[in-house]
């Protein structure tokens, strides 16, 4: 809660005191209790949630409880593998366990957004949005498994509606399933949240689609999730712009006696939107807690990390007034940097392997864990000047990323090192090529060297690292033996990642490779230290 809201709440409390009849001791006591509650409300909300529940870029989370655990999946956008899966015992502490897809389903092209869990008749469903390869239109597909966290098999497109179908959510009314989604996001007409009957097996629509809610204000609506309570269907949805520095995302709610509507507004105009730590909150789903409470896992931008740490996972409890109006209470994270700093031995003997992701549209890495380390090969698209970036999710705006390269097992003719990758046209890296160390930048689709210097010939191993500062300046270092040597560009302004963030995801650090199809690089270790 910002200071203006605190002041407003204080005067609201004061106003209530001034209008009460204070002629009796009981009235005075009630007034004192009211003032105390107002103070506590201001104080508790002001602390908000300075640490995320799921740190780093994890948009549009969907959550399910199964076999005594919670599972959640988030948007992966253009990063492959697709749709990271996390698990938790308590909704507060989460650990990544894998991905829904190790490779893109055959019908898909890009834009893997807004997955949605659904469980029915012993089967776990993941509905998801992706652009279709044949025409670039966003459709909703589905994959199923007997397990919530592995072995998903894709069944293709379920919703193909107009120029865009995204943000699936399934509602069950008795034995009837309904699919709901966002439509008309790319049209001149207002966006609508649409629904249709869904077949019992969950694989196809039945009957005519019908409108749930129209964006008459033309602010943008999406990310709907339903809660049924006291004879009402409550539909929570996100309004505004989801992503980037100009975002204004927020959660609103409407309700209806039937799934078909009509829906009426309920609760505050903005149920979740911004506080002193987070902004642009929205697009989540509900899950029953082990404590009998109902929780909402959603995303928001940190006001410190903003687009450079991406939309991170946040948690709130859903509460109700006596008249059925919903509200949310933020829950403090217990992560407190747990698991944010990572260091990996990349040799085959290591039991812990990183969940690396790459831009699957423009690179095709081929990698394996050997006795010497991670051996990386592969190809890139002809219009990819950066090369292959195998990345980790940063959880801070300020960090250090480093690797150790086995030069004796790597091709001299390949560029290999570390990188901060926004997309193929926006990146910065430090690499070794033959007997030179190269500090390079890709900007507006063009790759340039911002500093190059010789290193000793015949080295068997080289350590290199990048350090990102709060002002988005990047410093580069290498170590041949015991001391770090800084690679200082002539123009320091070039060593910056300002503006590198894609509109819907955060930049990511990791290892870098660029070479011929017959080239390879061997990385012995990889670490990421988040510093703020």
Q: What is the mean pLDDT of the chain?
A: 91
* Residue 333: predicted pLDDT: 73
**Among the listed residues 41, 34, 4, the one whose alpha carbon sits nearest the alpha carbon of residue 19:** 34
Q: Summarize pLDDT for 417-461 with one digit per residue, the tens.
A: 999 999 999 999 999 999 999 999 999 999 999 999 999 999 999
* Residue 118: predicted pLDDT: 98
pLDDT confidence band for 40 (50 / 70 / 90):
very low
| Dist CA 418 CA 465 (whole Å) | 7
Residues 252 and 236 sit within 8 Å (Cβ to Cβ): yes
pLDDT confidence band for 341 (50 / 70 / 90):
confident
* Residue 26: predicted pLDDT: 44
Please tell me which residue, 481 or 390, carries the higher pLDDT value: 390
- The residue written with tokens 């990048």 in the block is 466
* Residue 51: predicted pLDDT: 85
User: What are the Cα distances from residue 224, in Å, to 65, 92, 212, 254?
Assistant: 19, 23, 10, 10
Asked if the model's pLDDT at residue 180 lies above 90, the reply is yes
Mapped onto helix, strand or coil, the DSSP state of residue 211 is strand
User: What are the Cα distances from residue 478, in Å, to 240, 403, 465?
Assistant: 45, 10, 6
* Residue 335: predicted pLDDT: 58
Q: Known catalytic residues?
A: 60, 222
The predicted model gives 247-261 an average pLDDT of: 98
Mapped onto helix, strand or coil, the DSSP state of residue 233 is strand
Asked if the model's pLDDT at residue 21 lies above 90, the reply is no
Secondary structure, 3-state, 459-477: CCEEEEEEEECCCCEEEEE
Q: Summarize pLDDT for 208-245 with one digit per residue, the tens.
A: 999 999 999 999 999 999 999 999 999 999 999 999 99
The predicted model gives 56-70 an average pLDDT of: 97
User: What are the Cα distances from residue 428, in Å, to 165, 275, 388, 472?
Assistant: 35, 33, 12, 12
Helix axes 3-19, 25-47, angle to 10 degrees: 170
Q: What is the DSSP letter of 35?
A: H
Q: Summarize pLDDT for 286-340 with one digit per residue, the tens.
A: 999 999 999 999 999 999 999 999 999 999 999 999 999 999 999 877 655 444 6
Q: Summarize pLDDT for 381-430 with one digit per residue, the tens.
A: 999 999 999 999 999 999 999 999 999 999 999 999 999 999 999 999 99
User: What are the Cα distances from residue 151, in Å, to 60, 100, 351?
Assistant: 22, 8, 21
Q: What is the DSSP letter of 23?
A: S
> What does the block give as tokens for 389?
């970036």
User: What are the Cα distances from residue 294, in Å, to 63, 113, 314?
Assistant: 12, 24, 14
């Amino acid at each position: 809660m910002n200071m203006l809201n605190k002041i407003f709440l204080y005067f609201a409390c004061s106003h209530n005191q001034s209008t009460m009849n204070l002629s009796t001791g009981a009235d005075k006591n009630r007034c004192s209790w009211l003032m105390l509650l107002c103070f506590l409300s201001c104080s508790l909300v002001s602390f908000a949630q300075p640490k995320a529940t799921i740190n780093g870029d994890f948009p549009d989370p969907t959550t399910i409880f199964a076999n005594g655990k919670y599972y959640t999946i988030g948007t992966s956008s253009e990063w492959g593998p697709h749709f990271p899966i996390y698990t938790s015992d308590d909704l507060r502490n989460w650990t990544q366990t894998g991905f829904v897809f190790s490779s893109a389903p055959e019908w898909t092209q890009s834009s893997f957004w807004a997955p949605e869990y659904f469980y029915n008749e012993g089967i776990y469903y993941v509905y998801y949005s992706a652009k279709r390869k044949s025409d670039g239109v966003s459709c909703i597909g589905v994959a199923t498994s007997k397990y919530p966290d592995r072995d998903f098999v894709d069944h293709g497109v379920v919703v193909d509606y107009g120029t865009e179908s995204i943000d699936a959510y399934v509602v069950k009314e008795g034995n009837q399933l309904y699919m709901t989604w966002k439509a008309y996001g790319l049209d001149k007409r207002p966006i609508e949240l649409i629904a249709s009957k869904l077949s019992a097996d969950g694989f196809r629509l039945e009957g005519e689609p019908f409108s749930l809610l129209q964006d008459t204000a033309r602010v943008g609506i999406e990310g709907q999730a339903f809660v049924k309570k006291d004879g009402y269907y409550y539909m929570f949805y996100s309004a505004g712009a989801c992503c980037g520095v100009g975002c204004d995302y927020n959660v609103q709610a409407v309700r209806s006696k039937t799934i078909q509507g009509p829906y009426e507004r309920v609760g505050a105009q903005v149920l979740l939107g911004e506080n002193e730590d987070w902004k642009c909150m929205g697009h989540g789903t509900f899950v029953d807690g082990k404590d009998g409470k109902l929780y909402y896992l959603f995303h928001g931008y940190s006001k410190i990390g903003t687009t450079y740490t991406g939309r991170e996972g946040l948690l709130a409890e859903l509460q109700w007034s006596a008249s059925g109006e919903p509200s949310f209470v933020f829950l403090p994270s217990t992560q407190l940097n747990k698991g944010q700093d990572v260091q990996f031995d990349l040799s085959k003997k290591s039991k812990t392997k990183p969940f690396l992701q790459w831009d699957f549209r423009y690179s095709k890495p081929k990698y394996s864990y050997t006795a010497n380390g991670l051996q990386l090969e592969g190809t890139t698209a002809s219009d990819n000047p950066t090369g292959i970036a195998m990345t980790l999710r940063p959880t801070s705006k300020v960090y250090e990323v480093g690797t150790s390269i086995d030069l004796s097992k790597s091709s001299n003719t390949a560029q290999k090192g570390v990188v901060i990758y926004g997309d193929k046209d926006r990146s910065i890296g430090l690499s070794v090529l033959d007997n030179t160390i190269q500090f390079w930048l890709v900007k507006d689709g063009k790759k340039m060297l911002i500093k190059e210097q010789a290193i000793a010939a015949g080295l068997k191993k080289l350590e290199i690292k990048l350090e990102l500062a709060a002002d988005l300046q990047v410093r580069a270092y290498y170590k041949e033996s015991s001391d770090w040597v800084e690679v200082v560009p002539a123009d320091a302004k070039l060593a910056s990642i300002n503006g590198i963030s894609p509109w819907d995801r955060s930049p990511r650090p990791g290892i870098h490779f660029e070479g011929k199809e017959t080239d390879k690089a061997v990385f012995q270790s990889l670490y990421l230290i988040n510093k703020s």
